[in-house]
Amino acid sequence: MLKIQNITYSVEGRTLIEEASVTIPTGHKVGIVGRNGAGKTTLFRIIKGELVLETGAIEIPKRARIGGVAQEVPGNEVSLLDTVLAEDKERASLMAEAETATDPHRIADIQTRLADIDAWSAEGRASSILKGLGFTEEEIKMPCSAFSGGWRMRVALAGVLFSQPDFLLLDEPTNYLDLEGALWLETYLAKYPHTVLLISHDRALLNRAVGAILHLESKKLTLYSGGYDDFARTRSAQRAVQAAAAKKQELQRAHLQSFVDRFKAKASKAKQAQSRVKMLEKMETITAPEDAARVVFSFPEPEELSPPIINMEGASVGYDGKAILQRLNLRIDQDDRIALLGRNGEGKSTLSKLLSNRLDPMGGQITRHNKLRIGFFAQHQVDELHLNETPLQHLQSALPDFHPPKLRAKLAGFGLGADQADTEVGRLSGGQKARLSLLLATLDAPHLLILDEPTNHLDIESREALVEALTAYTGAVVLVSHDMHLLSLVADRLWLVKDGRVAPYEEDLDAYRKLLLQGDEKPKVEKKDKPAPKAKKASRDEILALRAEVRKCEERVGKLTDMSKKLQVKLANPELYEDKEAAVVWQKKYGEVTEAMDRAEALWMDALEKLEQAGG
């Protein structure tokens, strides 16, 4: 059990946590949420004992092990597997002693303890974790020096998961993972045998991997049962009640004060007036909930180009004469929202570079609209910002003819206010740097926006704002992301990158998630002569999941319906048919949308049927 009792902690005179208390039972998995800068990471450091409290105490069972991800894995010549194995300090110590011990009794004790901690299966467990986080069988035998910083962070994560501390503290663990690694981690944490404290802005992870949410707000800690969606609903209801109570009290105060002002000078009403003064003094103020600052992304609107904006016929692409992807027959129109799916190493980044003209094709034909502008965002671009320059200076370099007020307006359109505009990039938060990089990628109003992991370091409010902006954006979007929530709300087409090919994925994201979690194995089919098992009564969590799937399907149908209506208007315009080739292209697009609508409606009906069968 973890007990946090009346703790207070300040940084440079600013109080982050004040007389906060909470108790987390052993074995619970808790997601920690709160605004950026609220003190979530500071809370972790307090629990680890790295910071000294002003008041209060943290109670943890004696000998309990607390583990978190190391900031960096050294780039040495030790293999990934041995690096991870070394994180189990007891096992490593016993194995080393076993090689030199001579006392038979001590040797027996060592072997008994090694058996108790399941030391002999350690290599298999460590390998499994590394593979789950995206490393191949060959890579886990390679030295750490062969990998970049982001990949070494995966090794650090693998190490702490392998060591299985009693209290596992993870701060944004999916920032260095792809979709497949994030899904694996989600499943791993749900089954983790000890207590987990998880700081994350990934809604899917917070809905599936934890059973409670710890909210750090207004310097206090409040524990809510359920995943993030449950927390959001409860919190919204609480805020509505609090706002109504504050408004009611405000009216009551005004009424009492009005009576006092009117009659305090009249002798006949003096007692009543004095009584109301005392009532006002005793009234405990109910504060209306503070509204979160509006988070925004304002993408510039490109002019409309005739479709397709990119068309590939038999294209291939790769490196050093070796093709990674072949026989690519792909087309992108300006209203497309495409998510790239596929395991690490299959070629998603290679395809993104080909689409963005960062890689030349090795063969085949690629046709791009002659006016096409492409915006490209990848996580490495955040790391390439000039740390000693301000966001305003970055924009001045990119747009030398623009006056400062216009540049500041552009920064404000991406949530970077006056303070951030004049702050050196090196002092900005990860989320603020990501916003600046997104702004720089979209300055010339691209017709196609390619986003590779755009949500890293963005908080939940910023991710929701990004969803809104991408939905309203009139250019095409190609997304690579581990954020299932973002993909489900933005993408209406899925491309699977696998075995050197890129092809439409006809199922939905939930089906892809299940495919990954079962290791690409096809579901086993029962023999016809075997009686079907009786249907189990659906649990509350299963019904909630089915309801969420119905909502998602309904949203997809709605988006396709809007698209179909726009195309119908386009096709109803007689001027379109003055250019016969253009008319054929738009008719083909309408046919594709109609087919997509049929599939989306079928998935919707199937989801509704499953929900009905479950009694939801």
- 51-66: pLDDT as tens digits: 888 889 999 988 889 9
Phi, then psi, of 456 in degrees rounded to 5: -55, 130
In a domain, 515, yes or no: no
Q: Coil, helix or strand for 449?
A: strand
The tally of domains found in the chain comes to 4
Distance in angstroms (rounded) separating the CA atoms of residues 410 and 390: 14
What is the CB neighbour count within 10 angstroms for residue 199? Answer: 20
Nearest of 432, 431, 441 to residue 391 by alpha carbon: 432
Final residue before a domain boundary, out of 282, 304, 323: 282
Q: Which residues contact 487 (CB under 8 A, 6 or more apart)?
A: 179, 339, 479, 481, 509
Pairwise pLDDT comparison (594 vs 404), residue with the higher score:
404
> Quick one: 572 and 610 in the same domain?
yes
What is the distance of C-alpha 255 from the center of its chain?
Answer: 48
Cα torsion 4, 5, 6, 7 to 10°: value is -40
- pLDDT at res. 522: 39
Q: Does residue 92 surpass a pLDDT of 50? A: yes
Q: How far apart are CA 244 and CA 267, in angstroms?
A: 36
What is residue 535's predicted lDDT score, i.e. its pLDDT? 47
Q: Which of residues 425 and 610 earns the better pLDDT score?
A: 425
Q: Look at residues 164, 180, 202 and tell me which one is the last residue of a structural domain.
A: 164
Is 170 in the same domain as 138?
no
Whether residue 87 is found in the same domain as residue 19: no
3-class DSSP state of 347: coil
Helix/strand/coil (H, E, C) string of 18-33? EEEEEEECCCCEEEEE
Q: Tell me: pLDDT of 552 over 90.
A: no
Q: What per-residue string of b and e applies to 300-332 under the rule 16 or more CB within 10 Å gives b?
A: bebeebebbbbbbeebbbbeeeebbbbbbebbb
* 447 assigned to some structural domain: no
Count how many residues are written for the chain.
Answer: 616
Question: What mean pLDDT do residues 470-477 have?
Answer: 92
pLDDT at 584: 66
In a domain, 15, yes or no: yes
pLDDT class of 167 with cuts at 50, 70, 90: very high
* Spatial separation of the C-alpha atoms in residues 170 and 159, rounded to whole Å: 12
Q: Does one domain contain both 80 and 146?
A: yes
Q: Domain limits at 548?
A: 539-616
**Share above pLDDT 70 across residues of the chain, in percent, rounded to a whole number:** 90
Among 143, 164, 185, residue at a domain's last position: 164
| pLDDT of the residue at 532 | 41
Query: Do 136 and 275 sit in the same domain of this protein?
Result: no
- Are 507 and 341 within 8 A, CB to CB? no
Average pLDDT for the chain: 84
- Say whether both 144 and 257 belong to one domain: no
Q: What are phi and psi of 377, to 5 degrees?
A: -130, 125
Asked whether residue 184 is domain-assigned, the answer is yes
- What pLDDT score does 534 carry? 45
Say yes or no: 73 and 159 in one domain.
yes
Residues 201 and 253 in one domain: no
- Is residue 99 domain-shared with residue 242, that is, in the same domain? no
User: Residues of 76-92 as b/e, b for ≥16 C-beta within 10 angstroms?
Assistant: eebbbbebbbbbbeebe
pLDDT tens for 553-606 read 888 888 888 887 787 777 667 676 567 677 667 767 766 777 777 777 778 777
582, part of any domain: yes
Selected residue with higher pLDDT from 486 and 235: 486
pLDDT value of residue 530: 38
> What is the average pLDDT across 477-489?
91
**Taking residues 306-320, what's their average pLDDT?**
93
- Whether 524 has a pLDDT exceeding 60, the answer reads no
Distance CA 280, CA 253 (A): 7
Q: Are 198 and 22 in contact (CB under 8 A)?
A: no
Looking at the fold, whether 545 and 595 belong to one and the same domain comes out as yes
Q: Is residue 93 part of a domain?
A: yes
Residue 480 falls within a domain, yes or no? Answer: no
State the burial class of residue 595 (Cβ atoms within 10 Å of its Cβ: 0-12, 13-18, 19+). Answer: exposed
**Residue 594 neighbours by CB distance under 10 Å:** 12
**Sole residue written with tokens 């663990």:** 173
**Phi, psi angles (nearest 5°) of residue 208:** -105, -30
Q: What is the pLDDT of residue 543?
A: 78
| Confidence grade of residue 394 (pLDDT, cut at 50, 70, 90) | very high
Residues 172 and 210 in one domain: yes
**Which pLDDT does position 291 carry in this prediction?**
53
Residue found under tokens 């085949």: 364
Q: Is the pLDDT of residue 526 over 70?
A: no
pTM: 0.71
Distances (CA, A) of 323 to 328, 496, 499: 11, 17, 11
Q: Residue 473 has what pLDDT? A: 92
**Is 190 contained in some domain?**
yes
What is the average pLDDT across 451-480?
A: 89
Contact between 327 and 316 under an 8 Å Cβ cutoff? The reply is yes
Q: Do residue 60 and residue 195 come from a single domain?
A: yes
Q: What is the tens place of the pLDDT at every residue in 113-152?
A: 887 777 777 888 899 999 999 898 899 999 988 888 788 8
Confidence check: pLDDT of 531 > 50? no
- The reported pLDDT for the residue numbered 267 is 61
Least confident of 86-100, 171-185, 260-274, 471-485: 260-274
Closest alpha carbon to 193 in 348, 350, 336, 26: 26
Give, in order, the Cα–Cα distances in Å from 273 to each of 258, 267, 278: 10, 10, 9
Asked if residue 388 has pLDDT above 60, the reply is yes
Distance (Å, whole) CA 245 – CA 243? 5
